[in-house]
């Protein structure tokens, strides 16, 4: 029997570089926290980005009925094509017609994926190589980093400006572009900010992309999730020239995150995406698409969900946002930033008024320990001194949580010294809360 002479002769199974570099920053940060609630107070988790957690927000019956019908029909147990059933792709094309410059989207432009995460995975993997970079928002959702860094793709963060309703610092964005920039990721509406970009701001972003010939990956999973009085524009609807991959899905708007139904809409422009299209097709063969039952139900889900369902959901969230905003803005040391959509609100901590706490991680830990209220610290989204509050929890819980946050802040607030106060007035931070 041959003995290997070249192998190191013991069990020594190494993790790959890809797996090692693939990591979830939120997990790492949260696992590093000490989260021990006050045993006398019931825990309120304002941290969980899953709208279904508390049972107050349920998917429409039309959706559930569509699923049960598909199960009874027994026609959707088999493999779908790796990019999805044609009928489901057609339904997405129709549902997404507003994204087309001239309503030109058809089934061939749609690729179904296992959630929006998988859609983003395919887009990033298809468009960027090791050593290239993608531009991502700061603060922003951590999945882009999770997906890109495994491949050795560099993530460069462009700043969002809280004082301008979290618009992109366009100069900063432009400075980051170089010959290795493979794509700009734009999250609109935003997690964690809840911001919704104006038409003009999107046009400004597109102008930069066009001038530098950088394609856009638009994370539009919160599409249409905007409070009355604001208008949502998809990136692709505002450009004839910039090639855009729009990622979306049923996760948020239909309140079914676990169902893992996402999509990519390929907005090709003048054939710029012909290689990328092939790349996405190639990559879809890796896992063979989302669950076939959900695909089978998708046309009914997208067509039959009543407008009332969408409207009520948005209304509920706006209502929660208003309540939280009005309560938190009265609390010394906190500056909540009113969202225009999505399901989140960012709250700035004036850390100098909380000298006991080293940073917002410290603040968050003490808030749990004393008040059993847990919010994600800004660092989970790559920004300091903020906490993110989730607006999908039941109204009473939001109110209760805000009351406890108030008590906590009052206990720990130290008024600024006079000269600091003048500083504060100079930066005029109050104004930013009124946009």
Ligand X SMILES: Cc1ncc(COP(=O)(O)O)c(C=O)c1O
Residues 260-319 that bind ligand X (CB under 6 A): 262, 288
Secondary element (H or E) of residue 45: strand 44-45
Question: Of these partners, ligand X, a second copy, none, which one is at the site of residue 249 (CB under 5 to 8 Å by kind)?
Answer: ligand X
Question: Of these partners, a second copy, ligand X, none, which one is at the site of residue 125 (CB under 5 to 8 Å by kind)?
Answer: a second copy
Is the Cβ–Cβ distance between 158 and 175 less than 8 Å? no
Burial class (CB in 10 A: 0-12, 13-18, 19+), 121: buried
Question: Of these partners, a second copy, ligand X, none, which one is at the site of residue 121 (CB under 5 to 8 Å by kind)?
Answer: a second copy
Count other C-beta atoms under 10 Å from residue 22's C-beta.
Answer: 15
Please identify which residue in 18, 106, 311, 330 interacts with a second copy, judged by CB under 8 A.
18
Question: Of these partners, ligand X, a second copy, none, which one is at the site of residue 27 (CB under 5 to 8 Å by kind)?
Answer: a second copy
Please identify which residue in 35, 64, 300, 399 interacts with a second copy, judged by CB under 8 A.
64
| Two structure tokens written together for 359 | 């940073």
Is the Cβ–Cβ distance between 57 and 313 less than 8 Å? yes
79-106: b (≥16 Cβ within 10 Å) or e = ebbbbbbeebbbbbbbbbeebbeeeebe
Contact pattern from residue 124 through residue 163 relative to a second copy, giving x for each residue in contact according to CB under 8 A and a dash for the rest: -xxxxxx---------------xx--xx------------
Contact pattern from residue 44 through residue 83 relative to ligand X, giving x for each residue in contact according to CB under 6 A and a dash for the rest: -----x----------------------------------
Please identify which residue in 96, 191, 237, 284 interacts with ligand X, judged by CB under 6 A.
191
| Two structure tokens written together for 15 | 């993790």
Is the Cβ–Cβ distance between 399 and 328 less than 8 Å? no
The Cα–Cα gap between 288 and 280 comes to 12
CB-nearer residue toward ligand X: 194 or 336: 194
| Footprint on residues 211-270 left by ligand X (CB under 6 A) | 219, 221, 249, 251, 257, 262
| Footprint on residues 200-239 left by a second copy (CB under 8 A) | 211-215
Instruction: Tell me if residue 49 falls in helix, strand or coil.
Output: coil
Secondary element (H or E) of residue 175: helix 170-176
Secondary element (H or E) of residue 157: strand 154-161
The Cα–Cα gap between 63 and 251 comes to 12
CB-nearer residue toward a second copy: 89 or 404: 89
CB-nearer residue toward ligand X: 230 or 366: 230
Find where tokens 């199960």 sit. 71
Please identify which residue in 31, 179, 419, 434 interacts with a second copy, judged by CB under 8 A.
179
Question: Of these partners, ligand X, a second copy, none, which one is at the site of residue 19 (CB under 5 to 8 Å by kind)?
Answer: a second copy
Task: Find all residues with CB under 8 Å of 351, minimum gap 6, and list them.
Answer: 357, 359, 360, 363, 385
Do you find a cis peptide bond into 26, omega within 30 degrees of 0?
A: no
Smallest gap from Cβ 315 to a second copy, in A, equals 20
CB-nearer residue toward a second copy: 97 or 288: 288
Smallest gap from Cβ 189 to ligand X, in A, equals 8
β-pairing, 181-187 vs 262-267, is unpaired
Task: Based on the shown chain and the rule CB under 6 A, indicate whether residue 405 belongs to the binding site for ligand X.
Answer: no
| Footprint on residues 88-127 left by ligand X (CB under 6 A) | 115-117
Q: 196: closest CA among 169, 227, 170?
A: 227
Please identify which residue in 96, 99, 292, 371 interacts with a second copy, judged by CB under 8 A.
292
Smallest gap from Cβ 416 to a second copy, in A, equals 39
Question: Of these partners, ligand X, a second copy, none, which one is at the site of residue 221 (CB under 5 to 8 Å by kind)?
Answer: ligand X
Is the Cβ–Cβ distance between 115 and 249 less than 8 Å? yes
Is the Cβ–Cβ distance between 372 and 41 less than 8 Å? yes
Smallest gap from Cβ 275 to ligand X, in A, equals 25
Smallest gap from Cβ 278 to a second copy, in A, equals 6
**Which residues here bind ligand X, judged by CB under 6 A?**
49, 115-117, 141, 143, 187, 191, 219, 221, 249, 251, 257, 262, 288
């Amino acid at each position: 029997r041959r003995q290997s002479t070249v192998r190191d002769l013991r069990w020594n199974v190494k993790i790959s570089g890809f797996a090692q570099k693939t990591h979830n920053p939120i997990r790492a940060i949260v696992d590093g926290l000490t989260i021990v609630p006050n045993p006398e107070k019931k825990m309120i988790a304002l941290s969980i980005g899953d709208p279904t957690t508390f049972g107050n927000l349920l998917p429409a019956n039309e959706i559930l009925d569509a699923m049960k019908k598909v199960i009874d029909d027994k026609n959707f147990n088999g493999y779908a094509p790796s990019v999805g059933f044609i009928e489901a792709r057609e339904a997405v094309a129709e549902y997404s017609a507003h994204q087309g410059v001239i309503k030109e989207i058809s089934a061939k432009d749609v690729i179904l994926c296992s959630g929006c995460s998988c859609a983003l995975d395919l887009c990033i993997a298809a468009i960027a190589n090791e050593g290239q970079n993608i531009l991502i928002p700061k603060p922003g959702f951590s999945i882009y980093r999770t997906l890109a860094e495994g491949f050795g793709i560099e993530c460069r963060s462009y700043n969002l400006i809280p004082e301008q309703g979290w618009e992109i610092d366009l100069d900063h964005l432009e400075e980051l572009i170089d010959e290795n920039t493979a794509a700009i990721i734009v999250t609109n509406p935003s997690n964690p900010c809840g911001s919704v970009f104006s038409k003009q701001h999107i046009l400004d972003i597109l102008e930069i992309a066009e001038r530098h010939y950088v394609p856009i990956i638009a994370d539009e999973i919160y599409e249409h999730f905007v409070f009355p009085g604001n208008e949502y524009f998809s990136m692709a609807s505002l450009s004839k020239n910039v090639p855009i991959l729009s990622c979306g899905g049923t996760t948020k708007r239909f309140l079914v995150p676990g169902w893992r139904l996402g999509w990519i809409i390929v907005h090709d422009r003048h054939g710029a995406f012909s290689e990328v299209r092939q790349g996405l097709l190639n990559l879809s063969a890796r896992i063979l698409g989302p669950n076939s039952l959900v695909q089978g139900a998708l046309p009914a889900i997208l067509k039959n969900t009543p407008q009332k369902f969408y409207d009520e959901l948005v209304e509920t969230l706006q209502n929660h946002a208003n309540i939280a905003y009005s309560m938190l803005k009265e609390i010394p040391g906190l500056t909540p930033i009113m969202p225009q959509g999505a399901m989140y609100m960012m709250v700035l901590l004036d850390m100098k008024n909380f000298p006991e706490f080293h940073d917002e991680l410290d603040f968050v830990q003490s808030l749990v320990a004393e008040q059993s209220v847990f919010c994600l610290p800004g660092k989970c989204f790559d920004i300091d001194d903020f906490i993110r509050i989730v607006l999908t929890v039941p109204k009473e819980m939001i109110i209760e949580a805000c009351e406890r946050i108030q008590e906590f802040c009052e206990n720990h607030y130290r008024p600024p010294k006079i000269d600091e106060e003048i500083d504060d007035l100079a930066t005029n931070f109050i104004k930013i809360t009124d946009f």
